[in-house]
């Protein structure tokens, strides 16, 4: 980390792969930690940065709104951006270097290679956003090759993304440790997300139903409820909120993401995709039958 002489931390910004590689070639004596982001940072990202700072000697964050993971051009265009604020937050979090490539630095016009985790990418979010996880794994694989980190940090909030990336790393032998960081929530329980700023006041208030349903389901799971009972309970709790438009309530094995059925004997994850107006929110919570036992 560098200082500007008046006590303020400095962050180095790189737009080209070669300049970043040159910089990193001088930092390989310690552990390089990568935090991939698409910017518009919130406390959830800062938890990733803090976890990376705690374990890495050099912390690199990427800020790249990856076009290949957006299905519709409108979604990509609507993605919120505030690079000045992002840089200030990276600096405060103690990030050493930010990789902020233009699109043509990441994707050559004639690029034709993709990375796809075929099965895990098809289910759940992958079923409603075809191609989304292929875009994620392709860009994350590229970032791993460019940065060659020892550690990489991802939020548990995007649970399927985390599992897809873990599988890619295992299957393709990337020499990187993937670290999952727990979801950061607002005081009322709403999971932090860049999308929350797009919620109107009434939808923002209504969206608290997601965490309320998840936390209550966790208690029922500890009390021995079956997968079917939990799924029904979560669906009914959310459906009772008139502003919530349920796109998906899934209960899956927390490791394999296969649908959970019957008695719950190992951790399952409840995955929610619920729209409030035109804002699709996701949330997740691992339900553990043995927690606190």
Residues 227-266 that bind ligand PAF (CB under 6 A): none
The alpha-helical segments, DSSP class H, found in 56-190 are 73-78, 83-93, 103-106, 125-128, 132-147, 159-172
Among 150, 156, 158, 241, binds ligand PAF (CB under 6 A): 158
Q: Is residue 117 within the footprint of ligand PAF (CB under 6 A)?
A: no
Determine the interface stretch with ligand PAF among 103-111, 135-143, 177-185, 213-221 (rule: CB under 6 A): 135-143
For residue 177, give Cα distances in angstroms to 15, 129, 154, 216. 25, 27, 11, 33
Return the DSSP state at 259.
B
Tell me the two tokens of residue 123.
């289910």
- Say whether residue 37 binds ligand PAF (CB under 6 A): yes
Cβ atoms of residues 284 and 272 within 8 Å: yes
Least distance to ligand PAF, CB of residue 263, Å: 33
Q: Is residue 66 at the binding interface for ligand PAF, with CB under 6 A as the rule?
A: yes
Residue of 36, 56, 101, 126 interacting with ligand PAF (CB under 6 A) = 36
Tell me if 166 sits within 8 A of 254, measured CB to CB.
no
Report if residue 140 touches ligand PAF, rule: CB under 6 A: yes
Which CB sits closer to ligand PAF, 52 or 234? 52
42, 45, 132, 285: the active-site residue: 45
Q: Does 49 bind ligand PAF (CB under 6 A)?
A: no
Residue number, 38 or 151, with CB nearest to ligand PAF: 38
Separation between Cα atoms, residue 157 and residue 160, nearest integer Å: 9
| Phi, psi angles (nearest 5°) of residue 58 | -120, 125
| Of 49 and 140, CB closest to ligand PAF | 140
Q: Is 168 in the site for ligand PAF (CB under 6 A)?
A: no
- Interior/surface letters 148-187, b for 16+ CB within 10 angstroms, e for the rest: bbbbbbbbbbbbbbbbbbbbbbeeeebebebbbbebbbbe
In angstroms, the CA 262 to CA 216 distance is: 19
45: annotated active-site residue: yes
Active site residues: 45
Binding site for ligand PAF (CB under 6 A): 36-38, 66, 69, 136, 139-140, 158, 161
């Amino acid at each position: 980390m560098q200082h500007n002489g008046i006590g303020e931390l400095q962050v180095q910004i790189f737009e080209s792969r070669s300049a970043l590689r040159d910089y990193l070639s001088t930092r390989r004596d310690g552990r390089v930690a990568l935090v991939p982001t698409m910017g518009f940072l919130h406390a959830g990202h800062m938890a990733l940065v803090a976890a990376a700072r705690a374990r890495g000697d050099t912390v690199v964050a990427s800020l790249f709104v990856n076009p290949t993971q957006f299905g519709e051009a409108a979604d990509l265009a609507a993605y919120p951006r505030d690079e000045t604020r992002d840089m200030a937050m990276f600096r405060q979090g103690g990030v050493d270097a930010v990789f902020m490539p233009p699109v043509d630095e990441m994707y050559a016009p004639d690029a034709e290679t993709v990375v796809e985790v075929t099965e895990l990418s098809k289910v759940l979010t992958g079923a409603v956003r075809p191609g989304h996880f292929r875009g994620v794994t392709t860009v994350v694989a590229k970032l791993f090759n460019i940065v060659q980190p020892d550690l990489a940090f991802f939020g548990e909030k995007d649970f399927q993304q985390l599992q897809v990336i873990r599988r890619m790393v295992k299957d393709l032998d990337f020499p990187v440790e993937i670290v999952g960081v727990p979801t950061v929530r607002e005081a009322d329980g709403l999971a932090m997300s860049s999308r929350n700023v797009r919620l109107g006041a009434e939808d923002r208030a209504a969206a608290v139903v997601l965490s309320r349903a998840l936390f209550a389901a966790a208690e029922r799971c500890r009390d021995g409820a079956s997968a079917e009972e939990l799924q029904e309970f979560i669906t009914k709790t959310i459906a009772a909120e008139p502003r919530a438009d349920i796109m998906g309530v899934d209960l899956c094995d927390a490791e394999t993401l296969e649908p959970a059925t019957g008695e719950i004997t190992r951790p399952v994850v409840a995955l929610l995709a619920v729209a409030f107006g035109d804002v699709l929110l996701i949330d997740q919570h691992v339900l553990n039958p043995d927690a606190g036992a």
